[in-house]
Amino acid sequence: MIVKIVNKSSNALPQFETGGSAGADIRSNQRTTIQPGSFELIKTGLFVEIPYGYEIQIRPRSGLALKHGITVLNSPGTIDSDYRGEIGVILINHGTVPYDINVGDRIAQMVLSKVEHIQWHALGSLDSGTKRGEKGFGSTGK
Print pLDDT tens along the chain (142 aa): 999 999 999 999 999 999 999 999 999 999 999 999 999 999 999 999 999 999 999 999 999 999 999 999 999 999 999 999 999 999 999 999 999 999 999 999 999 999 999 999 999 988 777 877 777 888 777 6
pLDDT of residue 139: 79
Closest C-alpha to 64, from 29, 89, 30 = 89
41 strand-pairing partners: 90
Q: Using CA atoms, how far apart are residues 107 and 105, in angstroms rounded to an integer?
A: 6
Instruction: Please state which CATH number belongs to domain 4-17+25-114.
Output: 2.70.40.10
pLDDT of residue 137: 85
Query: What is the pLDDT at residue 140?
Result: 79
What span, in angstroms and rounded, lies between the C-alpha atoms of 109 and 17?
10
Non-local (6+) Cβ contacts of 133 within 8 A are none
pLDDT for residue 12: 94
**What pLDDT, on a 0 to 100 scale, did the predictor assign at position 77?**
95
CA separation for the pair 59, 45 (Å, rounded): 17
Tell me which DSSP letter residue 133 carries: T
Single pTM value for the model: 0.88
pLDDT (0 to 100) of residue 6: 98
Residue 83: Cβ within 10 Å count? 15
